[in-house]
Structures are given as C-alpha cells and as structure tokens.
Amino acid sequence: MKYKLKKINVILICFIIFMYLELVFRLFTDNSIFNISLLYISLYNLFLAILISFLVSFGNNKINKIIFFICLGIICFLYGLELCVFKMFGFYFDLSLFGATDQVLTFYSDGIKVVLQNIVGIIFIFLPFIILLIFNKYFAIRKIDWKYSLIKLGASVIVFIIFLLCLNINKNNINSAQELYYRVNNNELNIKMFGVLNSLRIDFKRSIFGYDIEIDILDNGYNNLDNNDENEEEIKYEYNNLDIDFDNLIANESNSTIKTMHEYFKNETGTLQNAYTKYFEGKNLILFMAESFNEIAVREDLTPTLYKLVNSGFKFNNFYTPTISSTIGGEFQELTGLVAASGFLSPWKSGENYFPFGLATAFQDLGYNTFAYHNHTYTFQSRNKYLAALGFDNYLGCRNGLEDRINCNQWPESDVEMIKTTFADYKNSEEPFMVYYVTVSGHGDYGFNYSAMARKHKDEVANLNYSEKPLAYLAAQIELDKALELLIENLEENDLLEDTVIALVGDHYPYYLSLDEVNEIASYKKDSVIEINRSNFILWNSEMDTVKVDKVGSQIDVLPTIYNLFGVNYDSRLIIGKDILSTEPGLAIFGNSSWVSDKGSYFASTNKFVPKDEEVDEEYIKYMNKVVSNKITMSKYIMTYDYYRKVLG
C-alpha cells in the first residue's frame, strides 16, 4: 500500500525541537530556564527555524530532507558537545578551545567516559533527530514557490530585528543582554542569556572577524573605593615600575587599540614595594605547578607535608585557582600574571611572543641557574615552546630525556620519581638555582583501576568513608605529598634547606570530581563558581616565621609576589596580577567574569554580590566589574598584540 507523504511545517517542527534542546541542555547543566533569557532564546530559535525552512525550500523532497537532517544533526551534535565539555571541565566549549586539541586527543578515553556517564542526556538531545529519521518516509519537505521563499527570508529578518530591539530591555543592568551582545565577550554568560545556538554563532563571528572590546580607562578610584590610603610608612617605598615613556609610545602609535593600551598602562600606578621586598633575595627557588591540587587535599593525617607547608611560611587564607581552559590556563596564569582570557592559547602555545618578565629570564638576569621538569610528555600543549619563550633552555620531560630516569609508561607518572631523579641536577649548583616543576600524579580520572598513583596509595585511604572517586583523588595527592617530603629531606641533607624557598600552586580544582564529590571531602559546602576554586598557595622557607595573609589572591598574583620577594626588576603595571603582599586591594577573577574582592564575592551569572563583612553600594559593584573587564581585556591584548615586544622589545 502506497502512503501519501504528508508535508510538514518545517518552521514549527524546528522551533519546537530547538526549544526542546535548550530545555534539555539547561536541565542537565542546572541552568535556570524561566527568566528574561527565554525571550531571547525563543526569538533566535524562531529566526533560525525560519532560516532553515528557507534553506530546504529549493530542492526536491530528497534533497530538502538531506539538508534538513544535516542541519538538525549538526545542531544536536553542538548541544551534545557543549554538554560533555561542561560535564568534563566545568566550563563551556568555544572556538578558542581548538587550541587545546592535543589535550582532547591525548585524553580521548576520558572523553568517551564522559559521553558514557552522560549518555542519558545525550540520548535526550539526539531523540528528535532519531525519531524524525525513523519516520522520515512518512513526511515530505517539498519545493515551494520562490515568492513564498522570499517571504520566509523576510520574516526571518523581521524576527531578528525584533530580537535586536529586545536587547534594550534592562540595558543599563550589569551584564545585560545588550552589554553581552555588543560590548562583553563572555561565552558562559552568553549561553545563559542567549542559549547554545546563538552563543555559538556569536563566538564564531568574533573568532573569524575579530572583536575589539571597549576599554574603559578609569580614574584611580580603585584604591579610593577601598579606602586604602597610603600612610607614612608606605610613602617611603618606591613602585615596582620601570622607566617607560608612555607619552612617546602614544604619540608614535598608529594602531588605535595599542594606543589605548599605552594610555591604560600609563594610567596605572603599579604596586608599591613593601616590607617584604627582597625578603628572599639570593635564596634558591623551587616552584611547582601541581596538577589538580586543591585545599581539599590538605589533611594532617594523609598529606602531612602539604599540611605543614600550607600552614606555615606565608599562609594565604583567601587564595583561588580559577579554572579557565584547564591545565594550560592555570599554568599560563601562574607563569605570566595574566588572566587566561579568550584568544590567549595560540600566541601562548606558539612560543613566539616576547616575555621580558619570563620566569627563567628574570632569574637568569639575577645570576641564577634555571631548570624545568615535567613528568609527562614534554611537548604536551606545546609546553616546550612556551617554556623556551620564558627562558628555560634545558627543560626536561618524558620523551626528551626524562624517560631514561623515570617510568614514563605508567599513567599518571610519579612525582616522587621526578624529584628523586632530578635533584642531583641542581644540588651542586655554584650559583643560586631556580627550579620549575610541573607535576602530573594528581591527574584524573580518579579511580583505582585508572590511576597508577591512586593504586599506589590505596591502602593509605582504605579506612576513610568516602566514595571511590574522592578516595582515589586523595590517594593520588599523597604522591605529591611524598614528593615534597623527599625534596625537603634532600635539601636538608645537602645543607640547602635554609637557603631555599618552596612555592606551589595548583592549575585548577579537580574537575574530574563532581561538585557533590568535592563537597564529600571538603570542610564546608562549596558552590560551583567561586568556592570550588578556593585553594592554597604555598610560599615557604624553613627559617621564616609564619605570616598570615587574609587578602584575596589568585594564580595571576603568584609571579609578581615572587618577583617582589626575590628583588626581580619588573614593571608591576604591565602584569595584570599584583603582589599579594603589597597595598593593592585583593582580587580574584573567574572564567565567567565572576570575582572575589576583599569586600565580597560577585556572581556574574546572577548579578549577585555577597558581602564579606558589610554591604557595599551599587557603584562599587559597577566599578569592580569595569576593573575586571579591563584586566581580562588587557590580558588578551597583551598576548594577541605581543604587547611586551612593542613596549620593551
């Protein structure tokens, strides 16, 4: 029996599917649904539905169906991709992440696990595509008259104009729809305001055609708003600044963006030197970037060395490691003092940018011998290139020599083995030494069948009443603790401990754990934006008294803090992070432009400020949002315009 194919209303079908996909995505990512964003999502989805209806109106039934299913399949794939990236890393996919493709390829098995763990959500996302594909023989998408096609095209334009007009609703609010669409580049807030499809379009447009963000050069109200006036003792200190003729740079610059950058940095005062300037002058430095290290790993019973180092030396009580673009973002922030803003990956990984304040370069200028080690593949994420740009000319990792010393064929590799086999390289250095270690033992996924380091220390956590993944995380971090214990023993045996500073910061929170799993072993209930990123910054010397620091800090403050302590000659205006021990007010910036200051926490997605001690006025919040926007923008432009070369090259 031959059925008469029923012609479907493509506009209605597409609109219903797009709204369904957005609903499913938000349910599985815990995003709110019923707010002003529903208006923008509905209008854009209607525009897109009409546009697809226009695209499938020119061919015969077979051709139109092929185009229809290709469009629908791509859209379902994009929703599935966003869901998996969010579940795996805690942030959303954007085109800048194509710069991290080697990480995706290296840990493809983790990606498969994420897909399997979220298979229910993925099935729901692809359900409309599957249903329509199964029943496609019962409906038709026939060619229509060209005049009607033009009407559709005109209707899509009208709907899009209505969408643009609606952007004026609450346009003066912080992070309003109009601000996000025209003046702010924030992928996470775009997804929450405009939905997945429109945010991807915005990201694609900005990635292809570029996007200049407005720079609002502020008066020196930052310190004024914080009532942080200089007293007589502070006045005697000089600024950690270089002699740069910004007026001459401004006068001779033809590029408007770079000229604005000159004006911005000229307007910055920089940070004052302080009682801790050159506090560690002449001492050795061993700096760690510790994989997935977080405050939840610091326990007196399991990780006594970490516990000792965190609670003595400089004790930073309000430190954060904002998770932006995974490990490479955390390392970038630690080594440059810049925010890992969109667009940083390509110039960072190329190793072609000029870094006059590069870690190894700065210490070599002080007469130090410098070393760098990583107990995983040395080329991973182009680490060999960007470390060379920072002055490390003898960086050693697996596959360029370290495999002759440690077992590089297990996953993850051992931090203890790395310390044990590299200490001899610098212990007899005639000059002071600066050593940079990138650890890997704490890497996820966390499970005793997956992680060699978790298995190694399984018995040490056997008596704890946690689920497997938190237990495996703690077990893996014990390896880092043992590595630090061995390092301290070696330093002491070689009479180097008194003259050596140990510094350590994590790259990101352990995002292989869910928020519930993190809270399972945390001492208090953390949120998914700010407190999940709260961590520790170890800065320790065996001979110093404990110094408690309550000011807010983050990864971008590590470099300038160390430089001030060791007497490195640098310009504090040109590094976005600031010396935590200076009089500069504290600030930590997160991936979606949320922030924490010494006065409280601001959640960008809800435009909510939670004061620490006392209420602040709306002007302070607006001002700080401009400060944060400027710091993010300047971090991006420093990288994309190779700004240090233009100023100091």
Query: What is the block-wise mean pLDDT of the chain (649 residues), using blocks of 10 residues?
Result: 70 96 93 87 97 90 93 96 86 71 58 86 96 90 83 93 95 88 88 95 87 76 45 70 97 95 96 96 98 98 98 98 92 97 89 97 98 97 96 97 97 98 97 98 94 97 96 98 98 98 97 95 95 98 98 98 98 98 96 95 93 91 94 95 95
Instruction: Evaluate whether 541 touches 284 at the Cβ level (below 8 Å).
Output: no
| Residue 252: burial class (beta carbons within 10 Å; 0-12, 13-18, 19+) | exposed
Residues whose CB is less than 8 angstroms from the CB of residue 381 and which lie 6 or more positions away in sequence, other chains included? 100, 102, 103, 327, 328, 349
How many whole angstroms separate alpha carbon 83 and alpha carbon 76?
11
Element holding 596 (H helix, E strand) = strand 595-597
How much is the CA Rg of the chain, to the nearest whole Å? 27
Contacts 24+ apart (CB under 8 A), 229-237: 230/272, 230/583, 234/272, 234/274, 234/583, 237/272, 237/273, 237/274, 237/277
At 604 the pLDDT is: 92
For 565, left (φ over 0), alpha (ψ -120 to 50), or beta?
A: alpha
* End-to-end Cα spacing for the chain: 79
How many whole angstroms separate alpha carbon 315 and alpha carbon 324?
24
Q: Which of 364, 344, 294, 277 is nearest to 99 (CA)?
A: 344
Please confirm whether the linkage preceding 412 is cis (ω < 30° from 0).
Answer: yes
Instruction: Evaluate whether 354 touches 197 at the Cβ level (below 8 Å).
Output: no
Classify strands 396-398 and 369-377 as parallel, antiparallel or unpaired: parallel
Q: What's the length of the chain?
A: 649
Instruction: Evaluate whether 151 touches 54 at the Cβ level (below 8 Å).
Output: no
Element holding 50 (H helix, E strand) = helix 37-55
Residues whose CB is less than 8 angstroms from the CB of residue 525 and which lie 6 or more positions away in sequence, other chains included? 519
How many whole angstroms separate alpha carbon 544 and alpha carbon 499?
11
Q: What share of the chain is helix, strand, coil (3-state, %, to 5)?
A: 50, 10, 40
Compute, in degrees rounded to 10, the torsion defined by CA atoms 558, 562, 563, 564: 110
Compute, in degrees rounded to 10, the torsion defined by CA atoms 642, 643, 648, 649: 20
Tell the CATH superfamily of the 282-550 domain.
Alkaline Phosphatase, subunit A (3.40.720.10)
If one counts every other C-beta atom within 10 angstroms of the C-beta of residue 548, the result is: 9
How many whole angstroms separate alpha carbon 413 and alpha carbon 432?
28
Local structure of residue 624 (DSSP, 8 states): H
The residues with which 336 forms a beta bridge, in sequence order, are none
Compute, in degrees rounded to 10, the torsion defined by CA atoms 438, 443, 449, 455: 50
Domain with CATH 3.40.720.10 in the chain: 282-550
At 86 the pLDDT is: 87
CA 515 to each of CA 315, 518, 525, 643: distance values in angstroms, whole numbers, following the listed order: 26, 5, 9, 38
At 343 the pLDDT is: 79
Q: Which of 41, 49, 38 is nearest to 13 (CA)?
A: 49
How many whole angstroms separate alpha carbon 448 and alpha carbon 475?
9
Token couple for 262: 């000159």
Instruction: Evaluate whether 227 touches 599 at the Cβ level (below 8 Å).
Output: no
How many whole angstroms separate alpha carbon 306 and alpha carbon 612?
28
Q: Which of 68, 67, 91, 78 is nearest to 24 (CA)?
A: 78
The residues with which 426 forms a beta bridge, in sequence order, are none
Token couple for 138: 């019962």
